[in-house]
Amino acid sequence: MIRLYAYRGEQCDKKRCTGNKLRRFGLVEFKSPLRAIPRRCILLTPTADKLFSRADAPIAKSRGIAVLDVSWRKGYFPEVSHVESRILPYLVAANPVNYGNPHVLSCAEAFAAALFIIGEREQAHDVMSKFKWGETFLKLNKEPLEVYSKAENIEEIEKAQGLFI
């Protein structure tokens, strides 16, 4: 089981916050301040330069995966220097707030995508099972997630991503 962490930025609507719901189910541990995010874990952020891939699985398995639970509307994603920052490849949101928008994923969708890509499909399904729209995310992105999960490294992810953009 991959450990999941979220930095709570106190920016989003608490009723719609997927991070809050995952925390209630004991699937995510909130970390604050930013320096409390475990060193060298994988941080999924839209500001990263490197794509997330199966090559990140050893770090994810030993150090965990983190997200910044902040509002897309505010557009501020703080920099965290002591982690391995990664951006997810092209995927489409299924959450009610951003349905159909590429790259604008909720915390739950980001966790599930990363878990699926590194072969932790059961945990990805468990994360998404907590939301009425959760399986929709996995169905909507079934083909890209399957392709990304077979890509061995960043170069193969970049190539695969081109099939869906």
Query: 3-state class of 67 per DSSP?
Result: strand
Residue 69's pLDDT is 80
Query: Domain span at residue 77?
Result: 4-161
State the greatest distance between any 2 C-alpha atoms of the chain, in Å, as a whole number: 38
Of residues 72 and 70, more confidence is placed in 70
CA distance 3 to 31: 12
If one counts the domains in the chain, the total is 1
The residue among 25, 17, 117, 101 whose CA lies nearest residue 67 is 17
Residue 79's pLDDT is 77
Instruction: Note the pLDDT tens digit of each residue in 27-55.
Output: 999 988 888 899 999 999 988 999 999 99
Q: What six digits make up the tokens of 164?
A: 């869906």
CA distance 131 to 17: 11
